[in-house]
Amino acid sequence: MPIVVNIDVMMARRKMSAGELAERVGITPANLSILKNNKAKAVRFSTLEALCRALDCKPADLLDYTEE
């Protein structure tokens, strides 16, 4: 898939654990894992907004597009 999710990169930069991020965003650790591992088929804008708020970043910091 040409969309790459870089949540783990931002988590490392912010020194935040997956459990802490999931709690701040209001999603389950399992759903966060699906996002982190590029297994998600879609993401709600409200979830993307909460991720950006929790990680103090912009959507472009979390999502990248690469040619296949």
Whether the predicted pLDDT of 1 surpasses 90: no
Q: What is the per-residue pLDDT across 42-54, written as a single tens digit (0 to 9) for each?
A: 999 999 999 999 9
What percent of the chain is modeled with pLDDT above 90?
A: 93
pTM: predicted TM-score of the whole model, two decimal places: 0.90
- CATH superfamily of the domain spanning 3-65: lambda repressor-like DNA-binding domains (1.10.260.40)
Structure tokens, 27 = 């999603």
Where are the chain's structural domains? Answer: 3-65
- Phi, psi at 15, each rounded to 5°: 55, 50
Residue 8's identity, in one-letter code, is D
Residue 20's identity, in one-letter code, is E
**Count of Cβ atoms closer than 10 Å to residue 40 Cβ:** 16
Helix (H) or strand (E) holding 50, with range, is: helix 45-55
Average pLDDT in the 51-65 region? 96
Is residue 55 a contact partner of residue 11, using CB atoms and an 8 Å limit? Answer: yes
The confidence score (pLDDT) of residue 13 equals 95
Q: How confident is the model at residue 68 (pLDDT cuts 50, 70, 90)?
A: confident
